[in-house]
Amino acid sequence: MLPALVFAIVVTQIPFLVTLWYSLNSWNLVRPGSERFVGLSNYADVFADRVFRQAALNTIVITAGCVIVAMLLGVGLALLLDRKFTGRSVVRTLITTPFLIMPVAGALVWKTTMLDPLFGIVNFVLSPFGVGDYDWTSSAPLVSVVAALVWQWTPFMTLLVLAGLQSQGRDVLEAAQVDGAGPARTFRSITLPHLRRYIELGVLLGAIYVVNTFDQIYIMTQGGPGTASSNLPFYIYQRAFLGFDVGQAAAMGVVVVIGTIVVATLALRLLFRSFAQEDR
């Protein structure tokens, strides 16, 4: 394990320590010689930044919206794919396709093919309902980004829940059927509790990945209009590579990392507690 541990420290912890040092300095790349130690001043500016708070709220909305909708769709699709029908293996393969497409390519497809105001498929399908040439990425940027993310992450949730369904003992389902329980009661009382750990794991993993979303926002909305669809990773990118403010961007990164670690730790404790209770 030592080589892997050394490699992990070199590529993760050392850059984080450098970022932590940069966060304690005021340094703008367009002003040579401007680097100076300012202590926690950058952190105070971060928490006083209105755009940072808006980006944090957008991050929560995007992450929660994507994970919840993708999980609901994943559970529904998994229940359908758990049944026997002709061509089931082909359908399962096709279901996983969106998750295998590069995020940049998927975002381009959604922006130019699905949500284009003049030639988009979404407006074409909704035109009988009076939608017309609605510009989704400008008028509803968060909805557009969440839709693209849901399309990408639903296959992951489906496969995870499907694995949980296939691990369920058939004798339990047959016993419930013999006792007179209908499909809805069986799902609510037996299948759903069994799937709890798989659903929690999917929500946790999905949230960890979706909170770092960058590609869809960069390609589809550029964080706009204004900062309406900027999330934390995209706003940090703007401060570092467009505003050239290394110190403040580093402070934002440290705040986001610490917040993510805290939330992930609490979620992992709940997940492990769920696993321990079910194994008893």
Residue-wise pLDDT for 107-161, tens only, equals 999 999 999 998 899 999 998 888 878 899 999 999 999 999 999 999 999 999 9
What is the Cα–Cα distance from 55 to 139, expressed in whole angstroms? 18
User: What is the dihedral angle through the alpha carbons of 12, 14, 16, 22, rounded to the nearest 10 degrees?
Assistant: -150
25 has which bridge partners?
37
pLDDT band per the 50, 70, 90 thresholds, residue 280? low
pTM: 0.89
The whole-number pLDDT of residue 176 equals: 79
Q: What are the start-end ranges of the E strands in the chain?
A: 25-26, 36-37
Q: What is the pLDDT of residue 121?
A: 93
Q: Which residues fall within 8 angstroms of residue 279, CB to CB, at 6 or more apart? A: none
pLDDT mean across residues, the chain: 89
- Tokens describing residue 76: 């529904």
Tokens of 44: 């105070």
